[in-house]
């Protein structure tokens, strides 16, 4: 059920669920760094038949148009979306034994914004996230109001990731598990869950 009209409260419990069994969408620069660190990067491609360009008012289709390139399968025109991703089977290689991120200062943008969505057309649904129930209690700080992320810097970072734009400064929101000195009490990675794998990679 869309929750665009409902306040969503959130505070990270530092459970570490979002750093396990996920797929992290990476910018090109992040993918290069991920490879430099000795980890694998997946290249995911999604083809969509594209007979005509969408109307300007079709924001979802315009979004897909912006982040894709044209191709053809025989006579059939296509748009291709390419996603670079780190596939986490088990714990992220950057997750320390204390469940804290060992690359906090340079962690991927998608890690910074979780549980916010990177696709502006995908509604944030707490039940689709790896965060435990106690992270969404109504007496916690507001993460989203009227369908919009409250923290302006988090929203900007999220939008920036949807159109992979390298950023270097961390928003005030984002997953609170970090180095001990940077643990925050305010909110704040993307995607739909598959059967048992919480994917943070969205081709929409
Ligand atoms: S926050 Fe750090 S440990 Fe967690 S998934 Fe991102 S890079 Fe890995
Ligand atoms: S962002 Fe959610 S899943 Fe990740 S550590 Fe915090 S509460 Fe757990």
116-144 confidence digits (pLDDT tens)? 998 889 999 999 999 999 999 999 999 99
Q: Nearest ligand to the C-alpha of residue 113? A: 2
Q: Is 15 in the pocket of ligand 2 (CB under 6 A)?
A: yes
Query: Which of 101, 176, 188 is the best mutation target for the ligand 1 pocket, counting ligand atoms within 8 Å of the beta carbon and taking the most?
Result: 101
**Domain residue spans of the chain:** 8-20+91-194
Q: Compute how many other C-beta atoms are within 10 angstroms of the C-beta atom of residue 121.
A: 12
Ligand showing the shortest atom-to-Cα distance for residue 13: 2
Q: What do you get for the CA distance between the two ends of the chain, in Å?
A: 18
What share of the chain has pLDDT > 70, as a percent?
72
Q: Measured between alpha carbons, how far is 82 from 67 in angstroms, rounded to an integer?
A: 8
Q: Which residues contact 200 (CB under 8 A, 6 or more apart)?
A: 18, 22, 23, 24, 25, 110, 114, 118, 189, 190, 191
Q: Is the pTM of this model over 0.85?
A: no
- If you average pLDDT over residues 97-123, what whole number do you get? 93
Does the structure show a pLDDT above 50 at 186? Answer: no
Say yes or no: CB of residue 31 within 6 Å of ligand 1: no
Q: Is 94 in the pocket of ligand 2 (CB under 6 A)?
A: no
**Cα separation, 148 vs 201, whole angstroms:** 20
Q: Which ligand is nearest to the CA of 128?
A: 2
Rounded CA separation 190/147 (Å): 16
Distance of CA 8 to the CA centre of its chain: 17
Q: Tell me which residue has its CA closest to atom 2 in ligand 1.
A: 101
Q: How far is the CA of 94 from the centre of ligand 1 (A)?
A: 6
**b/e 51-76 (16+ beta carbons within 10 angstroms → b):** eeeeeeeeeebebbeebbeeeeeeee
Q: What would the pLDDT profile of 39-69 be if each residue is shown by its tens digit?
A: 999 999 999 999 998 899 999 999 999 999 9
């Amino acid at each position: 059920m869309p929750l665009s009209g409902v306040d969503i409260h959130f505070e990270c419990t530092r459970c570490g669920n979002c750093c396990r069994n996920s797929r992290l969408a990476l910018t090109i620069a992040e993918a290069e760094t991920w490879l430099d660190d000795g980890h694998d990067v997946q290249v995911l491609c999604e083809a969509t038949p594209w007979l005509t360009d969408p109307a300007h008012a079709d924001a979802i289709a315009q979004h897909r148009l912006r982040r894709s390139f044209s191709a053809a399968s025989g006579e059939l025109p296509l748009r291709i979306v390419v996603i670079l991703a780190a596939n986490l089977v088990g714990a992220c290689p950057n997750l320390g034994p204390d469940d804290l991120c060992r690359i906090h200062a340079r962690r991927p943008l998608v890690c910074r914004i979780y549980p916010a969505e990177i696709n502006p057309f995908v509604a944030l649904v707490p039940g689709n996230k790896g965060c435990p129930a106690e992270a969404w209690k109504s007496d916690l700080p507001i993460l989203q109001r009227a369908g919009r992320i409250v923290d302006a810097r988090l929203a900007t970072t999220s939008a920036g990731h949807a159109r992979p734009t390298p950023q270097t400064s961390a928003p005030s929101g984002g997953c609170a598990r970090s180095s001990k000195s940077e643990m925050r009490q305010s909110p704040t990675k993307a995607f739909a869950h598959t059967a048992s794998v919480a994917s943070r990679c969205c081709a929409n």
